[in-house]
């Protein structure tokens, strides 16, 4: 399995965060790209050894990609800060991406270039081949599992997001307006681009329960699974939750004299439908009421060839 080494401040929190990501098989904290062999923690902190506190990450590329791992890594670092993350400062707390496979370099460079577009200051993440890595002392390994109340510069909300993040938004692109006009049907265009609502009980997926996933008709970004679909009696496809909480954006809707919560797709910003609080209590109480015209269904036996094989384990 491939591996990557990531430095992002104190390795206690960085390790816990990275280990929470779906597809990460193992993590190990240690000292990377320094001037000495097998340093101790005290030497790294006090003797200018040049090491960075880093995390060795082994991952399953069939479940998560290096590109997505890097996007999630950026969520818990300040990428323009030099030798400082959170309340920690010193060269050992610098940010860095250290690779062992030369083929990864282009992926990393492309990812850094995209990240730079979000900042005015230069990205300060060190990108180098892995020169050396020494595992840290045993008491540092899985530190926050052993000490749940121990020091951590990463918020609990970030840990929760890492554990539920499944879909990489960078893998999907929004077609231009002309393409949307050309490729969408009249109903699909009216629903996704003009917030129309299709008739109940007269749409493609309201009573479909075949195993598979439902993706945004405009971008292909996965939105819902058949495992979360249920019969609500409303006449539209109903789901208890999205495939990944981040693929859905909510917006207050006061149209037609009502107060509702509209749901839109993340990458495509397509109108999907609304979410209500009258769903089954055993699944969280939510009902995502979605227009069939905003969705494309991918049957389970076609998911691999369509590029969605990494989601197969979500289909019950």
Which residue do the tokens 């893998």 mark?
171
DSSP for 85-135 reads ETTEESGGG-EEEEESSTTHHHHHHHHHHHHHTT-SSPP--EEEE---EEE
Both tokens of 231, joined, read 């019969």
Which residues 6+ apart lie within 8 Å of 316 measured at CB? 211, 227
Is the Cβ–Cβ distance between 271 and 262 less than 8 Å? yes
Catalytic residue among 46, 195, 234, 289: 289
Measure the CA–CA gap between 236 and 189, rounded to whole angstroms. 18
E strand intervals along 245-308 = 248-253, 260-265, 271-276, 287-290, 295-299
C-alpha dihedral sign at 173, 178, 182, 184: positive
Give the number of C-alpha atoms closer than 13 A to the C-alpha of residue 172, restricted to the C-beta side.
21
Check if 10 is active-site. yes
C-alpha dihedral sign at 265, 298, 107, 6: positive
Check if 289 is active-site. yes
Phi and psi, residue 164, nearest 5°: -105, -5
Catalytic residue among 10, 46, 152, 195: 10
Both tokens of 80, joined, read 């323009």
Active-site residues, by number, are: 10, 289
């Amino acid at each position: 399995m491939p591996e990557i080494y990531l430095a992002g401040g104190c390795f206690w929190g960085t390790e816990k965060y990275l280990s929470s990501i779906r597809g990460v098989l193992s993590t190990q904290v240690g000292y990377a790209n320094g001037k000495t062999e097998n340093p101790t923690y005290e030497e790294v902190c006090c003797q200018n050894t040049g090491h960075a506190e880093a995390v060795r990450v082994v991952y399953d590329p069939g479940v998560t990609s290096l590109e997505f791992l890097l996007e999630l890594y950026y969520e818990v670092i300040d990428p323009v800060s030099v030798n400082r993350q959170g309340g920690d400062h010193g060269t050992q707390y610098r940010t860095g991406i250290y690779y062992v496979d030369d083929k990864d370099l282009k992926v990393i460079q492309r990812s850094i270039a995209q990240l730079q577009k979000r900042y005015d200051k230069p990205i300060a993440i060190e990108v180098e081949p892995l020169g050396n890595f020494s595992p840290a002392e045993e008491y540092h390994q899985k530190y926050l599992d052993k000490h749940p109340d121990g020091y951590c510069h990463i918020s609990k909300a970030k840990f929760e997001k890492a554990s539920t993040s499944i879909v990489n938004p960078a893998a999907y692109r929004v077609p231009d307006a002309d393409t949307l006009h050309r490729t969408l049907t009249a109903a699909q265009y009216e629903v996704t681009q003009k917030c129309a609502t299709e008739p109940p009980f007269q749409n493609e997926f309201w009573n479909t329960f075949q195993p598979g996933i439902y993706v945004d008709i405009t971008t292909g970004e996965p939105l819902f699974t058949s495992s979360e679909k249920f019969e609500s009696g409303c006449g539209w496809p109903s789901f208890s939750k999205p495939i990944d909480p981040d693929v859905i954006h909510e917006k207050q809707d006061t149209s037609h004299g009502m107060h509702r919560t509209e749901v839109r797709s993340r990458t495509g910003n397509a109108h999907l439908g609304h979410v209500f609080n009258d769903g089954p209590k055993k699944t969280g109480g939510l009902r995502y009421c979605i227009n069939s015209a905003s969705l494309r269904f991918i049957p389970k036996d076609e998911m691999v060839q369509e590029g969605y094989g990494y989601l197969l384990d979500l289909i019950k």
